[in-house]
Amino acid sequence: MFQLDNHVSFDGTCADAMVGQPYEGMKGFSLSLSYPTVDEAKRTFDRLAAGAKVTMPLTATFWSDAFGMLVDRFGTPWMVSGGSARSMA
């Protein structure tokens, strides 16, 4: 069981490559987490960032109070956002 915080958990089986085939890494997707507050997003981002490659630090954007991207130590890409959505008008 993988548990990131009190709200996100995963209990299942995953496979990354067939036996005898080279593993080319995860491509073409990101797991996205959205939180109602910046504090919750920051707490999760900081936990995921341990040993990760941060590709976009958690910061305010035109669409969210906080948004950041990283690839965790297992090679899984994540997008984390928090706070209210901003108006694009």
Listed by start position, the domains of the chain span 33-89
Q: Is 30 helix (H, G, I), strand (E, B) or coil?
A: coil
Q: Is the dihedral of CA 22, 24, 28, 31 positive or negative?
A: positive
Note the pLDDT tens digit of each residue in 14-66: 666 678 888 777 888 999 999 999 999 999 999 999 999 999 999 999 999 99
Separation of alpha carbons 1 and 59, rounded Å: 30
CATH number of 33-89: 3.30.720.110
pLDDT at 84 (0 to 100)? 82
pLDDT at 6 over 80: no
pLDDT at 16 (0 to 100)? 61
Residue 63: CB atoms within 10 Å: 11
Q: Any idea how long the chain is? A: 89
pLDDT at 88 (0 to 100)? 47
Identify the residue whose tokens are 């993988």: 2
